[in-house]
A and B are shown apart, each in its own frame.
Chain A
């Protein structure tokens, strides 16, 4: 039952926001709901007893409304419910139009995302997957920046196309199930589809996730969308929605089409590693801070995808750790981009510089987040990347080397960005700039605290996911052994 409550709180609260007239009470109610949800999630994560929820839903299709979770879902759930209070806080005291609509849409997205991570069958997963797209579409379209119409359209068509493939894949799987048919993940897992079919089915299922994450070369919607999106929108997209892709891949590909995964494994790893180097190299070229951060996010996600496909314990635990770490870091980064924009009136490096003189506190916080992003030891980013690179190394030392170039390239573009914004001579346009306000501390201090605490003491997260990672490996390893026995 607690799962259903967690699922519904944001959406139901959001639906009642229309009753309030005062913008600050709307925001406060929305925030309160998300904080309650976070507390419930933590309660769930650290309670010993498992919880699930299921009722019959569409009987003739054999579809249940079934919610449940394992360690992987839990990580995603924690990430979502951890980030949304900060995403909502980012709207406080800011001049926005249609506050109740905006908060409603944000909370709806949260509910849909929770649904994606808790769904126990593919049908329900798909419903929530699509539902999550709708409010985000409106957030981008109404509150977005220049060129929002065409960019949002591109984003929408892009993701919808991926979804159609996924829907086709789900229907195909549904027809393969025996007896009265079912869309339960548990039943999908036992299908044992012949390898020749898994090879094409892999792509049918993967496209949607590849677009969402995104994997090179399915990423071209992302930089422009991130740059145009309102801050809260981009926080949702980069912080949580990219992880929908990772989660979907973990749910669908590895358990259901393991032979397809083995067949395409190296292809995807190589594409992802190209993505790491490609996005990092392009990031250096950007003249716009927000776009640079967008490409940096793509580089980091690409490394996570590569780690996901090597499928060993180090890589998987590192990946799931990095899910939290990347989410927290990228949300903090985009918030900093927002306040820099508010203070300087620009995102172009040309017009920035010397902010540290006027806002030393902000520069320190920005630096810590930058260091988290470039994986300095004792930040969460290091722990995640260390394990992922270790996992890649086990597959191939070259993979680890190319993935590891993110250490160098990340330092090149992030420190470049830091210098252009914070260091150097003060710009004359900066005269009236003040340092951080208390709201900014309220958002940024907890986020950097998480970055540092997880970097120093990461073990609780590992313990949370260890069992799920092991069972996922157990799913794959017998098959891998069989395959390698046949091959050799």
Chain B
């Protein structure tokens, strides 16, 4: 037991308290009160997470377990309500509360005109609580509580403007698709329990070493858990909910659908690295899924014209990169990319929010343009994030993405080439976005964009600083660093110790990718700034491929055809044909036949209600007297 470690219990408790206060008192708070309460709750959680980090480091131990009570104890199943504080959970806690605080503060400005702002903050705090439960849980079931909790909050916040049926549909779609993944996840947890007689991380991982690499049961467990991760982290085939999730307020997209919740799948697999290392088949599958998702997201991103949709597909794509890292066994690299991605993607979304705010709700980038001078803070911070996501040295995204690329290179050359191709697409669509929004002439007549208030720009600036310098957390030995972050995480995870690349190879890889990215940016500049090419309006004729990509490969339509419509048909068929036409009459037929018999005794029944009552009461009273007198 580490002294003062119990303090860490406050980390999830404070947002929960914030939720209860803002939630139960939502009628009473005026102006920004709810926002201030909610932001302070998360802010305090951040400070406590930070101090927990120091407490743990000073204690000289690698982890601490805090047990509250026994949640479920049935037979051999013992599930304590317990938290695990180690370097991995602390990393995630710091991201969630740190980036979360900034987004909460930003929301005070962004949501100030909304008449349901109090319940907005209540739900944001509930989300933060659930997410913390997810990363702090000491066993798979506590993780699962948080896992479903964030799903609920995501549902609520996507459908925050609930008057709009399309938003409600998007919210339900997100929840149901996540639940599909969750079914796999929970079955995986159950199989895990029957295999190890425990679901707690420490016990499961301790016993895992007795299994051989490739043991079928471990492969099955990791596959089932993967299904959950695929749903939550929006990978192929369960990714189509994430772009639709952009229906929620933009801070929600930043916090839930970019920085934190969608990385839960990556966290869970990284947490289970001990199991995944034993399942090379699953790892290969993760790599393939990740690569396919990274490329698909990037390709669709090329043709999107809604600023949030571009960022959404970019998130899908970046999550794919994290999956690639997991798949090649570079678990700490994946978590590193989670971290830098949280910085720059939150920044991109908040920047987008600032732009949408300024444009009076307009999200179509074809109607923007020339915002560079009107919104300087937004522009410069957005530029920093764009450079970071493109992987330009020395911005944060460079360090994490380059590490993923070099791990991919170690693993397989084709994988490297494809992943690099995806990175080039990323730079292209991001700079396309940047140029269309901030450069050229203003294209929407009659609007007067203005810079956002300080409560929104200050979080942007802080996130920009993190996006620029965040990569220095993990400077590779190549640049004289000592991969601090990776070493820090090694205590909580395992990893493949593959062959180290020689420094010459590493430098040439970096040079090649940087050069290519530079060329792509130049190309984007020539297309969208020099030639002032604005993407075609909806409805104009397009090339076959253009149409294909603009319509997102018709995947939504495909799913509607093979799942939604058959389900609706089945539902109607079972109800109208089986239930109403076959089962009901069949049983009634038997009933009618019996009724004919019943007509014989019909004469006693006169339908006099009070007589029935009288007979009944009298009978029962007699019956009781009968019992008591015998």
Chain B 48-78 interface residues, beta-carbon cutoff 8 Å to A: 69-75, 77
Residues of B close to A405: CB separation below 8 A? 183
B190 pairs with A154, CB closer than 8 A: no
**Contact flag A282-B165 (CB < 8 Å), given A55-B630, A101-B613:** no
Q: Which residue of B lies closest to A406 (CB)?
A: B183
Q: Which of A189-197, A302-310, A371-379 contacts B (4 or more CB under 8 A)?
A: A371-379
A401 at the interface (CB under 8 A from B): yes
Docked pose: A134 CA to B193 CA in angstroms: 47
A419 pairs with B172, CB closer than 8 A: yes
Shortest CB distance B222–A (Å): 15
**Contact flag A282-B163 (CB < 8 Å), given A313-B74, A376-B148:** no
One digit per residue, 1 when the CB lies within 8 angstroms of any chain A CB and 0 when it does not, for chain B 563-599 equals 0000110111011001100011001100100110000
A459 pairs with B609, CB closer than 8 A: no
Contact of B587 among A220, A286, A466 (CB under 8 A): A220
B182 at the interface (CB under 8 A from A): yes
Docked pose: A57 CA to B568 CA in angstroms: 57
Docked pose: A140 CA to B600 CA in angstroms: 25
B301 at the interface (CB under 8 A from A): no
A411 pairs with B175, CB closer than 8 A: yes
Docked pose: A161 CA to B597 CA in angstroms: 13
**Contact flag A282-B574 (CB < 8 Å), given A11-B620, A394-B194, A416-B172:** yes
B627 at the interface (CB under 8 A from A): yes
Contact of B73 among A57, A154, A377, A462 (CB under 8 A): A462
B145 pairs with A378, CB closer than 8 A: yes
B583 pairs with A217, CB closer than 8 A: yes
**Contact flag A8-B624 (CB < 8 Å), given A220-B583, A354-B163, A393-B191:** yes
Q: Which of A248-256, A339-347, A384-392 contacts B (4 or more CB under 8 A)?
A: A384-392
Docked pose: A419 CA to B176 CA in angstroms: 14
Q: Which residue of A lies closest to B590 (CB)?
A: A161
Q: Which residue of A lies closest to B178 (CB)?
A: A411
A467 at the interface (CB under 8 A from B): no
Q: Which bracket fits the contact residues of B?
A: 35 or more
Residues of B close to A11: CB separation below 8 A? 620
Contact of B163 among A8, A220, A424, A458 (CB under 8 A): A424
Residues of B close to A404: CB separation below 8 A? 183, 186-187
B574 pairs with A278, CB closer than 8 A: yes
A264 at the interface (CB under 8 A from B): no
Shortest CB distance B210–A (Å): 22
Shortest CB distance B101–A (Å): 25
One digit per residue, 1 when the CB lies within 8 angstroms of any chain B CB and 0 when it does not, for chain A 120-146 equals 000000000001001100100010000
Chain B 362-397 interface residues, beta-carbon cutoff 8 Å to A: none
**Contact flag A400-B190 (CB < 8 Å), given A285-B572, A383-B72, A462-B72:** yes
A462 pairs with B74, CB closer than 8 A: yes
A408 at the interface (CB under 8 A from B): yes
A226 at the interface (CB under 8 A from B): no
Docked pose: A281 CA to B570 CA in angstroms: 7
A157 at the interface (CB under 8 A from B): yes
Provide the main secondary structure of the chain A interface. helix
**Contact flag A377-B144 (CB < 8 Å), given A57-B627, A408-B183:** yes
Docked pose: A393 CA to B193 CA in angstroms: 11
A415 at the interface (CB under 8 A from B): yes
Shortest CB distance B404–A (Å): 33
**Contact flag A161-B168 (CB < 8 Å), given A314-B77, A377-B144:** no
- Size of A's binding interface in residues, CB under 8 A: 71
One digit per residue, 1 when the CB lies within 8 angstroms of any chain B CB and 0 when it does not, for chain A 449-462 equals 00000001111001
Docked pose: A416 CA to B176 CA in angstroms: 11
Shortest CB distance B73–A (Å): 6
Shortest CB distance A312–B (Å): 8
Docked pose: A278 CA to B613 CA in angstroms: 39
**Contact flag A55-B624 (CB < 8 Å), given A281-B571, A419-B168:** no
Residues of A close to B18: CB separation below 8 A? none
Docked pose: A138 CA to B617 CA in angstroms: 14
One digit per residue, 1 when the CB lies within 8 angstroms of any chain B CB and 0 when it does not, for chain A 359-377 equals 0000000000001000011
Contact of A376 among B152, B163, B187 (CB under 8 A): B152
Shortest CB distance B487–A (Å): 35
B621 at the interface (CB under 8 A from A): yes
**Contact flag A412-B176 (CB < 8 Å), given A397-B191, A404-B186:** yes
**Contact flag A15-B72 (CB < 8 Å), given A55-B630, A281-B567:** no
One digit per residue, 1 when the CB lies within 8 angstroms of any chain A CB and 0 when it does not, for chain B 189-210 equals 0110110000000000000000
Residues of B close to A59: CB separation below 8 A? 630
A203 at the interface (CB under 8 A from B): no
Contact of A407 among B186, B578, B591, B624 (CB under 8 A): B186
B176 pairs with A415, CB closer than 8 A: yes
Residues of A close to B190: CB separation below 8 A? 389-390, 393, 400
Shortest CB distance A411–B (Å): 5
Residues of B close to A8: CB separation below 8 A? 624
B179 at the interface (CB under 8 A from A): yes
- B residues adjacent to A (C-beta < 8 A): 69-75, 77, 141, 144-145, 148-149, 152, 155, 159, 162-165, 168, 172, 175-176, 179-180, 182-183, 186-187, 190-191, 193-194, 567-568, 570-572, 574-575, 578-579, 583-584, 587-588, 591, 594-595, 609, 612-613, 616-617, 620-621, 624, 626-628, 630
- A residues adjacent to B (C-beta < 8 A): 8, 11, 15, 55-57, 59, 65, 101, 104, 108, 131, 134-135, 138, 142, 154, 157-158, 161, 217, 220-221, 278, 281-282, 284-286, 313-314, 317-318, 354, 356-357, 371, 376-378, 382-383, 386-387, 389-390, 393-394, 397, 400-401, 404-405, 407-408, 411-412, 415-416, 419, 422-426, 456-459, 462, 466
Beyond contacts A285-B568, A401-B187: 13 other A-B pairs, Cβ-Cβ < 8 A, are A8-B624, A56-B630, A220-B587, A281-B571, A376-B148, A387-B74, A389-B190, A390-B190, A393-B190, A407-B179, A408-B183, A424-B163, A425-B165
- Pairs across A and B, CB under 8 Å, 21 listed: A138-B612, A157-B595, A220-B583, A285-B568, A285-B574, A314-B75, A357-B163, A376-B148, A378-B149, A389-B190, A393-B194, A401-B187, A411-B172, A411-B175, A423-B162, A423-B163, A423-B168, A424-B163, A457-B69, A459-B72, A459-B73
